[in-house]
Amino acid sequence: MAGLAVESTKRALYYYGPSILTQQYWEDHKRDANGKLTPGWMDRLQAAPGPHKDKSKDPHAAGRALDIVLFARNPQEKDYADRIVQVFLSLKQKLKFISVVYNLWEWNGSGSKFPHIDEEHKTHIHIEWGQTGVGSSDFASDLEDALYQEFAGGNMRSGDYAAG
Ligand SMILES: [Zn+2]
C-alpha cells in the first residue's frame, strides 16, 4: 500500500496535471504475475514497483515512491515532465520529498541538482519520500492549485480539449 504523500501526488497529477497522465502507454517490458514478459498497456502513474525494478530493495515496494511515465525522447512529453519537476521543486518545503529523478538529473529535498546518469529515468519521473515525509499529505491542495495553474492553460494550447 502506497503512503499518503504518494497517493495524494498521484491523485493531484491525475486530475490537475496534463491529461496525458490519465492515458495508458505501451510498455515493452511489462511482466505478468509469473514474471513472464508480456508487453501491454500500462498506467502512466505508477506507485507499485515497475517492470524494471528490483522489488526487494525498491522504495516503491515500501510505498514511498511514485513514477510518472513521460518519455524524454518525445518533446511534448519531456516538456510536460520538465514542468512537473518545476512544480515539485517550487513546493519542495511542503512536499518534503527526498529525491526527484528525471532524464539524467536528480534533485534532493533542498532542491539541489546533480547528475543522475542512467537510461531508466529517461522514461519517467521518479519522486521519493522518506519514512516520515510519506505519511503526510498536507501539501495536497497546494499541489493541485500549482498543477492547475501550470497545465489548465497548457492543455488548451496543446489542443487537448475537444472544440465546441
Ligand atoms: Zn521509481
Distance of alpha carbon 131 from alpha carbon 138, whole angstroms:
15
Ligand 1 centroid, distance to 164 Cα (angstroms)? 39
Inside any domain, residue 26? yes
Distance of alpha carbon 65 from alpha carbon 63, whole angstroms:
6
Ligand 1 centroid, distance to 60 Cα (angstroms)? 6
Ligand 1 centroid, distance to 66 Cα (angstroms)? 6
Distance of alpha carbon 99 from alpha carbon 126, whole angstroms:
8
Inside any domain, residue 31? yes
pLDDT on residue 164: 38
pLDDT on residue 159: 45
pLDDT on residue 78: 97
User: Measuring CA to CA, which residue among 59, 55, 53, 49 is closest to residue 130?
Assistant: 59
Ligand 1 centroid, distance to 58 Cα (angstroms)? 8
pLDDT on residue 32: 82
Ligand 1 centroid, distance to 47 Cα (angstroms)? 8
Ligand 1 centroid, distance to 163 Cα (angstroms)? 36
Q: Work out the angle between the directed axes of helices 140-157 and 75-90 (0-180°, nearest 10).
A: 150
pLDDT on residue 152: 87
Inside any domain, residue 164? no
Ligand 1 centroid, distance to 162 Cα (angstroms)? 33
User: Could you report the per-residue pLDDT of 90-121, keeping only the tens digit for each?
Assistant: 999 999 999 999 999 999 999 999 999 988 89
Q: Which residues of the chain have pLDDT under 50?
A: 157-164
Inside any domain, residue 153? yes
Residue 10: which domain range? 4-157
Distance of alpha carbon 34 from alpha carbon 145, whole angstroms:
41
Q: Which residue has the cell 527526498?
A: 98
pLDDT on residue 51: 58
Strands of the chain (E only): list them: 24-27, 40-43, 45-46, 65-69, 97-102, 105-108, 113-115, 124-129
Inside any domain, residue 162? no
Distance of alpha carbon 122 from alpha carbon 140, whole angstroms:
26
pLDDT on residue 143: 98
Inside any domain, residue 71? yes
Instruction: Specify the amino acid at residue 126.
Output: H
Inside any domain, residue 148? yes
Q: Structural domain tally of the chain?
A: 1
pLDDT on residue 153: 58
